[in-house]
Chains A and B, each alone.
Chain A
Amino acid sequence: MEGQKQVLEKLRGAFRSGVTLPVHFRLTQLEAMMSLLEDNETQILEAMHEDLAKPKFEAVLSEIDMVVNDLCYTISNLQTWMQPTYVGTNLATKLDDCFVRREPLGIVLIIGAWNYPLQLILSPLIGAIAAGNCAILKPSEISRATEKLLAELIPKYLSQECYAVICGGAEETKKLLENRFDHIFYTGSQSVARCILQAAAVHLTPVTLELGGKCPCLIYGRIDMKSAAKRLVWAKFFNAGQSCVAPDYVLCTAETRDMLLPFMKEALESFYGSDPQQSQDMGRIVTDRHWDRLIDLLKKSEGKIVIGGESDKKTRYIAPTVLVDVKESDVLMQEEIFGPILPILTIKSLDEGINFMNEREKPLALYAFSDESQVVTTVLERTSSGGFCSNDGIVHMTLSGLPFGGVGASGMGNYHGRWSFETFSHKRGCMLRGWGLERVNVLRYPPYTESNLSWLRWATTSKKKGWAGCSIM
Chain B
Amino acid sequence: MEKQVVDDLREVFQSGRSRPLQYRKQQLRALLRLITERQADIEQALKQDLNRNTYNTSLFELISIENDIKLAESDIADWAAPQPVKKNLNSALDDAYIKPEPLGVVLIIGTWNYPWAMILQPLVGAIAAGNAAVVKPSELSEHSARLMKELLPLYLDKEMYQVVTGGVPETQELLKQRFDHIFYTGSSMVGKLVMEAAARHLTPVTLELGGKSPCYIDKNCDIAVACRRITWGKFANCGQTCIAPDYILCEPSIQDRIVEEIQKTLLEFYQKDPKSSPDYCRIINTRHFDRILALMNECTVALGGESDHSQCYIAPTVLRDVLPHFKIMQEEIFGPLLPIVTVNGLSEAINFINTREKPLALYVFSSNKTVIKRMLTETTSGGVTVNDVLMHYTLDTLPFGGVGNSGMGRYHGRHTFNQLSHHRACLIKSFAMESLNDARYPPLTAARLHKANCAAIGDASLKQHIPLPTLLFFKVFSLKNHFKSI
A459 CB to nearest chain B CB (Å): 10
Q: Are B440 and A234 closer than 8 Å at their CB atoms?
A: yes
Indicate if B478 sits at the interface (CB-CB under 8 A). yes
Which listed residue (B199, B391, B424) contacts A198, Cβ 8 A? B199
Residues on A with C-beta less than 8 A from B430 are 371, 391
Partner-contacting stretch, out of A89-97, A145-153, A305-313, A340-348? A89-97
Q: How far apart are the CA atoms of A358 and B482 in the complex, in Å?
A: 44
Indicate if B320 sits at the interface (CB-CB under 8 A). no
Which listed residue (A16, A231, A444, A452) contacts B232, Cβ 8 A? A444
Q: Are A371 and B443 closer than 8 Å at their CB atoms?
A: no
Q: Which residue of A lies closest to B361 (CB)?
A: A429
Indicate if B395 sits at the interface (CB-CB under 8 A). yes
Q: Are A386 and B388 closer than 8 Å at their CB atoms?
A: no
Q: Are A228 and B199 closer than 8 Å at their CB atoms?
A: no
Q: A204-B207, A429-B399 are in contact. Are A445 and B232 (CB under 8 A)?
A: yes
Residues on A with C-beta less than 8 A from B282 are none
Which listed residue (B407, B427, B452, B462) contacts A390, Cβ 8 A? B427
Which listed residue (A42, A93, A466) contacts B481, Cβ 8 A? A42
Indicate if A274 sits at the interface (CB-CB under 8 A). no
Indicate if B99 sits at the interface (CB-CB under 8 A). yes
Residues on B with C-beta less than 8 A from A279 are 442-443
Q: Are B395 and A230 closer than 8 Å at their CB atoms?
A: no
Q: Are B85 and A429 closer than 8 Å at their CB atoms?
A: no
Q: Are B222 and A197 closer than 8 Å at their CB atoms?
A: no
Indicate if B43 sits at the interface (CB-CB under 8 A). no
A184 CB to nearest chain B CB (Å): 12
B416 CB to nearest chain A CB (Å): 13
Q: Are A41 and B191 closer than 8 Å at their CB atoms?
A: no
Partner-contacting stretch, out of A292-300, A325-333, A394-402? A394-402
Convert A435-473 into 0s and 1s, putting 1 for each residue whose CB lies closer than 8 angstroms to a CB of B: 100100100111111101100110011101111000000
Residues on B with C-beta less than 8 A from A234 are 437, 440-441
Q: Are A197 and B202 closer than 8 Å at their CB atoms?
A: yes
Indicate if B225 sits at the interface (CB-CB under 8 A). yes
Indicate if B22 sits at the interface (CB-CB under 8 A). no
Q: How far apart are the CA atoms of A170 and B174 in the complex, in Å?
A: 32
Q: Are B443 and A38 closer than 8 Å at their CB atoms?
A: no
Residues on B with C-beta less than 8 A from A198 are 196, 199-200
A53 CB to nearest chain B CB (Å): 14
Residues on B with C-beta less than 8 A from A206 are 408-409
Indicate if B386 sits at the interface (CB-CB under 8 A). yes
Indicate if B4 sits at the interface (CB-CB under 8 A). no
Which listed residue (A57, A72, A380) contacts B461, Cβ 8 A? A72
Indicate if B204 sits at the interface (CB-CB under 8 A). yes
Which listed residue (B63, B442, B453, B465) contacts A271, Cβ 8 A? B442
Residues on B with C-beta less than 8 A from A398 are 88, 90, 456
Q: Are B383 and A182 closer than 8 Å at their CB atoms?
A: no
Partner-contacting stretch, out of B151-159, B283-291, B326-334, B372-380? B372-380
- Give the number of residues in A that approach B within 8 Å (Cβ atoms): 121
Residues on B with C-beta less than 8 A from A3 are none
Q: A234-B440, A435-B367 are in contact. Are A61 and B269 (CB under 8 A)?
A: no
Q: Are B449 and A61 closer than 8 Å at their CB atoms?
A: yes
Convert B19-40 into 0s and 1s, putting 1 for each residue whose CB lies closer than 8 angstroms to a CB of A: 0000000000000000000000
Residues on B with C-beta less than 8 A from A456 are 59, 63
Q: Which residue of B lies closest to A197 (CB)?
A: B199
Residues on A with C-beta less than 8 A from B188 are 204
Which residues from 46 to 100 on chain B have a C-beta closer than 8 Å to any C-beta of chain A?
53, 55-56, 58-59, 63, 66-67, 70-71, 74-75, 85-88, 90-91, 96, 98-99
Q: Are A87 and B395 closer than 8 Å at their CB atoms?
A: yes
Q: How far apart are the CA atoms of A13 and B251 in the complex, in Å?
A: 28
Residues on B with C-beta less than 8 A from A209 are 202
Most chain A CB within 10 A, of B232, B384, B422, B437, is at: B422
Q: A98-B397, A445-B228 are in contact. Are A69 and B378 (CB under 8 A)?
A: no
Partner-contacting stretch, out of A120-128, A158-166, A251-259, A408-416? A408-416
Indicate if B18 sits at the interface (CB-CB under 8 A). no
Q: Are B425 and A396 closer than 8 Å at their CB atoms?
A: yes
Q: Which residue of A lies closest to B192 (CB)?
A: A201
Partner-contacting stretch, out of A73-81, A110-118, A135-143, A171-179? A73-81
Which listed residue (A376, A392, A430) contacts B383, Cβ 8 A? A430
Q: Are A201 and B199 closer than 8 Å at their CB atoms?
A: yes
Residues on B with C-beta less than 8 A from A404 are 425
Residues on A with C-beta less than 8 A from B395 are 87, 89-90, 93, 98, 429, 431
Residues on A with C-beta less than 8 A from B193 are 201
Residues on A with C-beta less than 8 A from B67 are 460-462
Q: Which residue of B lies closest to A73 (CB)?
A: B461
A56 CB to nearest chain B CB (Å): 6
Residues on A with C-beta less than 8 A from B58 are 453, 457
Indicate if B382 sits at the interface (CB-CB under 8 A). yes
Name the prevailing secondary structure of the A interface residues.
mixed
Which listed residue (B59, B90, B456) contacts A444, Cβ 8 A? B59
Convert A371-390 into 0s and 1s, putting 1 for each residue whose CB lies closer than 8 angstroms to a CB of B: 10000100010101111111
Indicate if B142 sits at the interface (CB-CB under 8 A). no
Q: Which residue of A lies closest to B383 (CB)?
A: A429
- Give the number of residues in B that approach A within 8 Å (Cβ atoms): 121
Indicate if B464 sits at the interface (CB-CB under 8 A). yes
Residues on B with C-beta less than 8 A from A389 are 426-429
B52 CB to nearest chain A CB (Å): 11
Q: A98-B398, A389-B429, A462-B71 are in contact. Are A426 and B403 (CB under 8 A)?
A: yes
Which listed residue (B200, B392, B449) contacts A430, Cβ 8 A? B392
Q: Are B378 and A18 closer than 8 Å at their CB atoms?
A: yes
Which listed residue (A76, A105, A358, A467) contacts B70, Cβ 8 A? A467
Q: Are B388 and A431 closer than 8 Å at their CB atoms?
A: yes
Residues on A with C-beta less than 8 A from B56 are 448
Residues on A with C-beta less than 8 A from B279 are 446-448
Residues on A with C-beta less than 8 A from B66 are 461
Residues on A with C-beta less than 8 A from B481 are 41-42
Indicate if A349 sits at the interface (CB-CB under 8 A). no
Indicate if A428 sits at the interface (CB-CB under 8 A). yes
Q: Which residue of A lies closest to B478 (CB)?
A: A41
Q: Are B225 and A231 closer than 8 Å at their CB atoms?
A: no
Q: Are A227 and B74 closer than 8 Å at their CB atoms?
A: no
Q: Are B404 and A430 closer than 8 Å at their CB atoms?
A: no
Residues on A with C-beta less than 8 A from B228 are 438, 441, 445
Q: A429-B383, A456-B59 are in contact. Are A402 and B425 (CB under 8 A)?
A: yes
Which listed residue (B87, B280, B399) contacts A427, Cβ 8 A? B399
Q: Are B74 and A384 closer than 8 Å at their CB atoms?
A: no
Most chain A CB within 10 A, of B56, B180, B429, is at: B429
Q: A90-B395, A409-B202 are in contact. Are A432 and B372 (CB under 8 A)?
A: yes
Q: How far apart are the CA atoms of A231 and B440 in the complex, in Å?
A: 10
B243 CB to nearest chain A CB (Å): 11
Indicate if B387 sits at the interface (CB-CB under 8 A). yes
Q: Are A391 and B431 closer than 8 Å at their CB atoms?
A: yes
Indicate if B144 sits at the interface (CB-CB under 8 A). no
Indicate if B121 sits at the interface (CB-CB under 8 A). no
Q: How far apart are the CA atoms of A89 and B396 in the complex, in Å?
A: 8
B431 CB to nearest chain A CB (Å): 4
Q: Are B465 and A399 closer than 8 Å at their CB atoms?
A: no
Most chain A CB within 10 A, of B16, B268, B426, is at: B426
Residues on A with C-beta less than 8 A from B380 are 103, 426, 428
Q: A388-B424, A431-B388, A447-B279 are in contact. List 13 more A-B contacts (CB 8 A).
A: A69-B459, A73-B461, A87-B395, A282-B442, A389-B426, A389-B428, A402-B85, A426-B403, A428-B380, A429-B400, A448-B279, A461-B63, A461-B70
Chain A to chain B contacts (Cβ below 8 Å), 23 pairs: A45-B482, A61-B452, A98-B398, A100-B399, A204-B191, A204-B209, A230-B437, A371-B430, A371-B431, A376-B428, A387-B426, A388-B425, A391-B429, A398-B90, A399-B91, A399-B427, A412-B204, A428-B383, A429-B392, A429-B399, A431-B383, A431-B391, A435-B367
Those 10 A-B pairs whose CB atoms lie nearest each other, nearest first: A401-B85, A448-B55, A429-B398, A281-B442, A197-B199, A87-B397, A201-B195, A57-B444, A396-B427, A402-B425
